[in-house]
Structure 1
Amino acid sequence: MINFVLLFSRQGKVRLTKWYSPYSQKERSKVIRELSGAILSRGPKLCKFVEWRGCKVVYRRYASLYFCMCIDSEDNELEILEIIHYFVEILDRYFGSVCELDLIFNFHKAYYILDEILIAGELQESSKKTIARLIAAQDALVETAKEQANSISNVIAQATK
């Protein structure tokens, strides 16, 4: 099981977190500080797996972002590397070569995509086409809601004149 997902920049700034195991806010801050420091200090040629507090941390760097997942010690690290790569491929497909700014300004979409892939720390959907279809449906729903909100505000504006 995946305990948590962290995305942070080369400067150590957190861009996305998703917690599947219970951690207090104080513990979360400590975990982020410890792991970002440990991973950022590692050389690029070192293994992408780190033993940490009885768990394994699997990470991978894409451009200026580190994608990091903490798993139970008996879980398969290579499977998690594939999940990380799968998540990045879907982000790339949606944003068109995802970058740090995409995650900063569209963090809600990144969370939505992650929630479609993982549920309760387990891989839920392995089809890129299915996820692309679900994301398109979500975008259509948001656009419909915006249009309805605009039409309602127009009706209200006309009625108050």
Structure 2
Amino acid sequence: MIKSVLIFNTQGKPRLTKFYQQIDVDLQQQIVKEIHSLVVKRPAAACNFLEGSKLLGGADTRIIYRNYATLYFVFVVDSSESELGILDLIQT
């Protein structure tokens, strides 16, 4: 199940945030900051999959992202989703 879709630039300014679960606005902002810090510091040659943190829902949650120019397209999903399927969705 897709938990959220995030698009933000390299400075961390959100361009689109969509959460599919009821989450407080302050917690949403913390999640965007945490995901930005995790994704931006990874090298370009690293894989596009990350395990979630406690803030996101624990080890059952995965972060799948793709970088295009100055934007990061990020999907937060649970373990039942296919990582390659989500990457294909981002590509499309």
Match for residue 28 of structure 1?
28
Task: Please give the alpha-carbon distance, in whole angstroms, between the structure 2 residues aligned to 1:22 and 1:77.
Answer: 24
Match for residue 77 of structure 1?
83
TM-score computed with the length of structure 1 as normaliser: 0.52
Shift of 1:13: 1.1
- Structure 2 counterpart of 1:61, one-letter code: N
Aligned length, in residue pairs: 86
Larger relative helix fraction: 1
Deviations 1:84-120 (A, max 9, x none): 111xxxxxxxxxxxxxxxxxxxxxxxxxxxxxxxxxx
Deviating beyond 6 angstroms after TM superposition, the runs of 4 or more aligned structure 1 residues are: none
- Structure 2 counterpart of 1:72, one-letter code: D
Identity of aligned residues (%): 37
Query: RCO higher in 1 or 2 (8 Å CA, sep ≥ 6)?
Result: 2
TM-score computed with the length of structure 2 as normaliser: 0.89
- Structure 1 residue runs without a partner (length 5+): 87-161
Q: C-alpha root-mean-square deviation of aligned residues, in Å?
A: 0.9
- Structure 2 residue runs without a partner (length 5+): 53-57
- Larger-Rg structure: 1
Task: Please give the alpha-carbon distance, in whole angstroms, between the structure 2 residues aligned to 1:24 and 1:11.
Answer: 23
